[in-house]
Amino acid sequence: MNIWNGAGRRIYLQEVGTRDGLQAESVFVPTTEKIALVDSLSRAGMAKIEVTAFVSPKAIPALGDAREVMLGIERVPGVIYSALVPNVRGAEGAIVSRVDELNLVMSASESHNLSNLRMTQAQSFAGLCEVAALARQASLAVNVSLSCAFGCPMDGEVAQETVLEWCARFIGEAGAGGITLCDTTGMAFPTQVNSLTRRFRDAWPDIELSLHFHNTRGMGLSNVLAGIEAGADRFDASLGGIGGCPYAPGASGNVCTEEVAHALQLMGYDIGVDLEKLIAASKRLPALIGHDTPSQIVKAGRRLDLHPLPRDFEVIRERALSREI
């Protein structure tokens, strides 16, 4: 059996730690530190970075410096710099701050949309069509992140038909070039991921599909693998595994960038990132946010980061060898 079954297939890792991650933190990470973090992620080879969110600073105080961060980062060629935008006001801020891609946000669940964005889905959709038109005028890419696509913490199951209908409307009516199916509170499970990914891929083979998982119930990495098997090649992840929507009850961290990168590299996928640089950046996070992160790679090291032999190893060996078998 070939254990390198990734066979060099390109998988794109998209960092959301500076948006989904920092929005969940109670401390305000200083602007210069945010800029340094984005720059280190760029240099580590992330394909796309969701740098920040142009949202109400009352709703998300941690990201109140969106413009300064966006304008302060280094633009590494080949990296796409994206930002989350909920409305026209946010789009205007993002456009003057020179984002490459607007990431529009709406929820597949009415209850979560109202809690998070204070609008009905119909109101969000109408506003986002305007945002998409603005983006087109500015020649910017439009991605739509559909929250609660695998279940809602308040409404429960969200039918795949409902999710696919919203995708159809965003692609057909708003002209979105990419869709992210978001598992906002870790409700997705691998066979469900496989099924929804296949249905999306069959319906829109040419639209950029991203999957966004939270590890709330320990299924994050399994869901990534299920998505890959079903044809997805773009995954959001957050450095250190931090993150979560403050307006989704029970939300916790995203799948951890260095854990996903470590696993996919072992399996032979081409992910284009420098794992060592990612781990170094992740190790700096606790000092910025004031607590440890869930990263198992920071805790345990990489698979082949070996430990020294016990100090009395030679004695143990001699003793063992002197015994009769």
Footprint of ligand COA on this chain (CB under 6 A)?
23, 53-56, 58-60, 86-87, 89-90, 93, 105, 116-118, 147, 245, 247
Cα–Cα distance, 196 to 135 (Å, whole number): 28
What residue 299 binds from ligand COA, Zn ion, none (CB within 5 to 8 A, per partner kind)? none
What residue 169 binds from Zn ion, ligand COA, none (CB within 5 to 8 A, per partner kind)? none
Place of tokens 């000092």: 287
Q: Which is nearer to Zn ion, 6 or 210 (CB)?
A: 210
Q: Which is nearer to ligand COA, 53 or 242 (CB)?
A: 53
Q: Which is nearer to Zn ion, 6 or 215 (CB)?
A: 215
Least spacing, CB of residue 276 vs Zn ion, in Å = 26
Question: By the 8 A CB rule, do 40 and 265 touch?
Answer: no
Binding interface with Zn ion (CB under 5 A): 20
Least spacing, CB of residue 228 vs Zn ion, in Å = 19
What residue 14 binds from Zn ion, ligand COA, none (CB within 5 to 8 A, per partner kind)? none
Cα–Cα distance, 197 to 55 (Å, whole number): 29
Beta bridge partners of residue 143, listed in sequence order: 103, 178
Q: Which of 148, 167, 245, 256 is catalytic?
A: 245
Cα–Cα distance, 285 to 292 (Å, whole number): 8
Least spacing, CB of residue 6 vs Zn ion, in Å = 25
129 is catalytic: no
- In a 3-state reduction of DSSP, which class is residue 47? coil
What residue 86 binds from ligand COA, Zn ion, none (CB within 5 to 8 A, per partner kind)? ligand COA
Q: Which is nearer to ligand COA, 116 or 210 (CB)?
A: 116
Nearest of 40, 47, 22 to residue 272 by alpha carbon:
47
Least spacing, CB of residue 256 vs Zn ion, in Å = 13
Cα–Cα distance, 265 to 260 (Å, whole number): 8
Q: Cα–Cα distances in Å, from 106 out to 49, 63, 116, 127?
A: 19, 18, 9, 10
- In a 3-state reduction of DSSP, which class is residue 251? coil
Positions annotated as catalytic residues are: 245
